[in-house]
């Protein structure tokens, strides 16, 4: 055999070995539900989509709806949800195509579709009004819902919310999603995910192995990686100020000043556009303060939600 051919074969074998090492198949939905669903009946068909929800606390008390960020799940709220449920009806959910919720049948992950699903969920739960708490992507969906349906929102908590344009995003235009990201459908090493999750924390030591495992497992739910890529490609930001001006609910902005994902400077933009808003910031926290320091960040949110 010629030396050149031997080199080519060795290279092909090396590439095959790397591909086999990186290949990350989906995990069976039944396995994930047995591990991460609190109860078998924590699933609800809402506007044609099977949603994973947790509904706890007094049924006839004030209600709060918790909306997670991009790539996350309702589990991000668990320390807060357990504590708030002593006084409030707490509803957390996995957005379509995230966590244990099924992908949207129409593959529609636009903000308008998210608002439609939230409205259908409130109607289905017979809730005329609720407070909304949202982080990052969930924050953008929360304030856009509050702008579209101000009569349905009691109070609004926005935690490092998305919505103002940043490099790579323009108003009225979907972003260019790098083709290389399509490889996520086939390969998602846990070590790579850990590196990306660390960026959300001011102190990466606060990111526990169990959290990384949960994020990784749920991203491997059937259809979730495709849905994540579709959601990225369908982001069309709108000029925030006219919509924010429509919001009637008192609003609490909560932000980690060491946020490396959405700049803390955006807080001033929200404060100038919202009719009734105040800011609570934490100098030592990052993009997910409710995960990084749940006990310290909860109390002011609790007081705001119950009107102390």
Question: Could you tell me the pLDDT band of residue 10, with boundaries at 50, 70 and 90?
Answer: very low
Q: Give pLDDT tens digits for 27-57.
A: 999 999 999 999 988 999 999 999 999 999 9
- pTM of the entire structure? 0.92
Residue 190 lies in a domain: yes
Residue 43 lies in a domain: yes
Residue 10 lies in a domain: no
Ramachandran angles phi, psi of 242, nearest 5°: -60, -35
Task: Give the helix, strand, coil percentages of the chain, each rounded to 5.
Answer: 45, 15, 40
Q: Give the chain's domain count.
A: 1
Share of the chain above pLDDT 90, in %: 83
Residue 200 lies in a domain: yes
Q: Give pLDDT tens digits for 77-122.
A: 999 999 999 999 999 999 999 999 999 999 999 999 999 999 999 9
In whole angstroms, give the CA distance from residue 120 to residue 156: 19
Residue 8 lies in a domain: no
Residue 1 lies in a domain: no
Residue 6 lies in a domain: no
Q: Could you tell me the residue range of the domain that residue 227 belongs to?
A: 28-306
Give the three-class secondary structure for 75. helix
> Are the C-beta atoms of 36 and 217 separated by less than 8 Å?
yes
Residue 20 lies in a domain: no
Taking the CB of residue 4, how many other CB atoms lie within 10 A of it?
8
Residue 282 is part of a domain; what is its CATH number?
3.40.50.1820
- Nearest 5°: the CA angle 183, 237, 291 is 65
In whole angstroms, give the CA distance from residue 11 to residue 4: 11
In whole angstroms, give the CA distance from residue 166 to residue 279: 21
């Amino acid at each position: 055999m010629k030396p050149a051919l031997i080199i080519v074969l060795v290279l092909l074998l090396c590439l095959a070995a790397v591909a086999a090492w990186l290949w990350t198949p989906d995990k069976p939905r039944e396995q994930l539900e047995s591990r991460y669903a609190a109860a078998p009946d924590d699933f609800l068909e809402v506007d044609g989509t099977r949603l994973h929800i947790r509904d706890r606390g007094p049924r006839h008390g004030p209600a709060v709806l918790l909306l997670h960020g991009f790539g996350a799940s309702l589990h991000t709220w668990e320390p807060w949800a357990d504590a708030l449920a002593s006084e409030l009806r707490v509803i957390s959910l996995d957005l379509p195509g995230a966590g244990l919720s099924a992908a949207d049948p129409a593959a529609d992950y636009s903000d308008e579709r998210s608002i439609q699903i939230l409205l259908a969920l409130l109607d289905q739960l017979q809730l005329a009004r609720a407070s909304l708490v949202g982080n990052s992507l969930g924050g953008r969906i929360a304030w856009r819902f509050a702008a579209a349906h101000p009569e349905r929102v009691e109070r609004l908590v926005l935690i490092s919310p998305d919505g103002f344009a940043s490099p790579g995003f323009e108003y009225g235009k979907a972003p260019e999603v790098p083709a290389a990201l399509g490889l996520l459908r086939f390969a998602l090493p846990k070590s790579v995910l850990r590196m990306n999750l660390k960026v959300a924390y001011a102190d990466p030591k606060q990111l526990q192995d169990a959290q990384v495992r949960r994020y990784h497992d749920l991203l491997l739910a059937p259809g979730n990686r495709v849905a994540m890529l579709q959601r990225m490609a369908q982001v069309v930001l709108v000029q925030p100020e006219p919509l924010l001006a429509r919001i009637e609910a008192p609003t609490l902005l909560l932000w980690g000043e060491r946020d490396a994902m959405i700049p803390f400077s955006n807080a001033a933009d929200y404060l100038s556009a919202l009719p009734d808003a105040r800011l609570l910031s934490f100098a030592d926290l990052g993009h997910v303060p409710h995960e990084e320091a749940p006990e310290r960040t909860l109390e002011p949110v609790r007081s705001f939600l119950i009107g102390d």
